[in-house]
Amino acid sequence: MRYAARRTWPEKIKAWEYISEAEDMEAFALMFAEDKQLAADTEFVVIEKAGAESEIEFFKVSRTEPYALIAAEPRVESASNPAPAPAQAQKTSSGGGLGFGRQGQPMDGGAEAIAGVWRAMFSNALFFGKVGATAMLIFVSAVFMAKWWFNAW
């Protein structure tokens, strides 16, 4: 079977670093770690290059001499924003704020985000209404002052 691998965090590489063939995914992952001489605690992803229904697995190097791997949780956040611990994820999803979707992925606010957009649109319309009313009031005041002080009409 043909597989591809790349590091996921903290060295996020967009292209596949390693493409080769192996009997199974674990053998390929071990071969990738040994060939690239990955340090302990390095996380990487392996994908089966079989088409649309490719299998994806995440691995972490647990020791280097000899190399040993363990299954890892998917990490796609940047180094400045690490993934929350599972206990924190449960607190967040039950306590309001940022919820979590079907497969534990954070949702982007949903109704709260839409409500925020509507609030912003309403406040912008209100702001332009206030500016327009103020400009109209100044214009009408200038016309009446010109008539009253200078008897313009």
pLDDT interval class at 101 (50, 70, 90): very low
Sheet containing 56-64, strands listed edge to edge, beginning at the edge strand earlier in sequence: 18-21, 2-9, 43-48, 56-64, 67-71
Q: What is the pLDDT of residue 91?
A: 40
- The per-residue pLDDT of the chain, averaged, comes to 77
Half-sphere exposure of 16 (CA within 13 A, CB side): 13
pLDDT interval class at 75 (50, 70, 90): low
Strand partners, 9: 43
Ranges 113-117, 130-134, 144-148, most confident:
130-134
Q: Which residue has the higher pLDDT, 2 or 139?
A: 139
Strand partners, 19: 4
Tell me the pLDDT tens digit for each residue of 19-65. 888 888 888 888 988 888 888 888 888 888 877 677 888 888 888 88
Q: Which tokens go with 90?
A: 């449960």
Cα-based distances in Å from 34 to 10, 29, 65, 95: 19, 9, 9, 44
Q: Which residue has the higher pLDDT, 140 or 104?
A: 140
Q: Which residue has the higher pLDDT, 8 or 134?
A: 134
Q: What is the pLDDT of residue 126?
A: 96
Sequence ranges of the domains in the chain? 2-71
pTM: 0.46
